[in-house]
Structure 1
Amino acid sequence: MKNIIITGTSRGIGFELVHLFASQGHNVLALSRNEKPVTNLNFENITSMAFDLSKAEDYKKVEDFIATEWKQVDILINNAGTIVNKPFKETSMGDFERVYKTNVFGVAEMTRVVLPFMKQDSHVVTVSSMGGVQGSMKFPGLAAYSSSKGAVITLTELLAEEYKESGPQFNVLALGAVQTEMLEEAFPGYKANTSPLEMANYIHDFALEGNKFYNGKMLQVSNSTP
């Protein structure tokens, strides 16, 4: 059984991922600003922790938990994200800072904190978006969000190169439309063909096995535009 950390677990894909891994007997550390939904799952192998990726002091709690309870981490899934949807001329520096603190700086810092506890064959999976893929269709109002998702794609490639001899492996999944609350924020009224559970199943399988075949890769996981 593996030790797995997942961020952004209070709803959507992250919530479903926690359930999938825990039901298989894996140990899961579920991190979200609101820990209550995951706490209510009542799995003994789930530890839920209120956590804000933009707060430096919260990372110490994760580090202490791993050192005390687990000693090692097999899989880290950087799933948490935040979005701003407004015209660029109305998007302030504060808006960009808020989005980047979670979507980029949070991914970098969480990975940096967890890395010392990871093995050569551990796997870091970061959830990005098709909006961050160079050459993909872009949409007005998402300058902060989509550019942040492009940044973590490049970050993943850089980390895979830096750790290619020692491990772990790093991969990033650029997701298309999934019927989540965040999709509603980005594209009000749009109905996606993919449910959070369906996408969680894909990410679950990829997190467990994908690093046997990929390292430093961006995989587009989309059947629609957006």
Structure 2
Amino acid sequence: MERREVAAVLAYIGRLDPRTIRAIRTDTGEARDQIAQWHELLNDVPLATDHGWDVREAIRAHILDSPYPILPVDIARKWRAHRRDRLDRHTDPTPTADPDDPAAWRTELIGTRHAVATGSAAPSTHRRVTGGGLHPDVEARLRAIGSCVPPTVRAELTRYRPARAAREAAIAEGRPDALGVRCQWCHAPEGEPCRSRRVGLDGRARGNAPRATPHPTRVDLAAAELARQEAA
């Protein structure tokens, strides 16, 4: 920010906030000293950028939110926070320079980051998770295989997750989904496999290993729930 821009900022503050009227110098010598003081703290703060920063917005926000008159450090801190946020959202794009030329590669990276930090370029966020629908190729593949997990991969995973495999087989054959209800024997919640719990001599439960098959009472409860749904 140049000296004339600092003077414009001081005039803008004086128009918006009556509390600063006394703080803004009108004498030629005092005004020159005040502009020099503010310029010392704001010389690296731009008046406005093409991407999200405007010193007038920062001034208005301070006047609306703070009970204290604005100081040059308040503006400088807001700019630093804005610049830090932009760099945090920036992902370095691959430089166009020759990778075998480290100096040119580094120079381009530094130049891109400096452009983002100063507001002359927008942050590159191409690696972020974005919204929107699936790619047409992915949709076509899902329609072809019917699942995100191909059948061959699902078959290979069967031995590592027997409870899930048994549940999928039961649903495919039209049998009751035992894991669709809460187990009244081991108190396993819906969607979780049953647990092998033994009762010790003191009456307390011993062991908590997952079972490959659900408890019979859970199967009966699932069958009753399926019958109720079909009757409804």
The alignment's TM-score, normalised by the length of structure 1, stands at: 0.21
Higher share of residues assigned helix: 2
Q: Rg larger in 1 or in 2?
A: 2
Question: RCO higher in 1 or 2 (8 Å CA, sep ≥ 6)?
Answer: 1
Higher share of residues assigned strand: 1
